[in-house]
Amino acid sequence: MNIKRSKFSKIKKKYLQFIKSQEIPNEPFKDKLKQLNNFYIPICDMIYKQRCKNKTKIIGLAGGQGSGKSTISRILKILIKEKFNLETVIISIDDFYKTLRDRKKMSKSFSKLFLTRGVPGTHDTKMLFNCLTKLKQKSFSKILIPKFDKSTDDRCKKREWTRVLKKPDIIIFEGWCVGAIAQKKIV
């Protein structure tokens, strides 16, 4: 029982530290411990129960801009590591936008809409698929995950990309359209 209490105390401490780092002055998160106990821990337990040993599990998290996807992903990563000691990697679909150069070419060739990131077709889905495939491989070797800088509207230099050195047990894939199904082409 003490081990469980001490583990919970450690989880609670890390969770509260992270939440505090995310709070805006005069806008604190409400019901922090209630959310931890009634939302985050049950979700982590469900993720743990549904995973297969020796296989990487991908968890999709979808929501609109500013809805808390990144914050929730980071909380889940903290809890999964602390409670189950599982390696977790967070991937954002935003980091897989095509480069500004590629979008400029597409905007000249197909439609001016491609210049603005976010339009369907502006993600480098091939790069995303390759990244997910490499992260799930049994014979894992380190991998770089791209980073996109919205302030420059372009992909960061490779030296700024996220380095994944250990095979992940869990991948949290977050984005505004994760799990969306493409429309059938209407002729």
SS3 155: strand
Give the model's pLDDT for residue 176.
84
Q: Which SS3 state, helix, strand or coil, does residue 127 take?
A: helix
In this predicted structure, what is the pLDDT of residue 2? Answer: 43
Ordered structural domains, the chain, with CATH: 2-175 (3.40.50.300)
pTM for the model stands at 0.88
What's the one-letter identity of residue 126?
A: K
Residue 141 and residue 139: Cα distance in Å, rounded? 7
CB 90 within 8 A of CB 172: yes
Q: Is the dihedral of CA 121, 126, 127, 131 positive or negative?
A: positive
pLDDT at 3: 53
CA distance 15 to 18: 5
Pick left, alpha or beta for residue 23 (phi over 0 → left; psi -120 to 50 → alpha; otherwise beta): beta
Nearest to residue 168, comparing CAs of 77, 81, 58, 88? 88
State which amino acid sits at residue 25. Answer: P
CB neighbours of 34 closer than 8 A, spacing ≥ 6?
none
pLDDT in tens, the chain (187 residues): 345 788 889 999 999 999 999 988 888 889 999 999 999 999 999 999 998 888 999 999 999 888 889 999 999 999 999 999 999 999 999 999 999 999 999 999 999 999 998 888 899 999 999 999 999 998 888 999 999 999 999 999 999 999 999 999 999 999 987 877 777 776 6
CA distance 141 to 129: 16
Res 187: pLDDT: 64
Is the backbone of residue 18 left (phi > 0), alpha (psi -120 to 50) or beta?
alpha
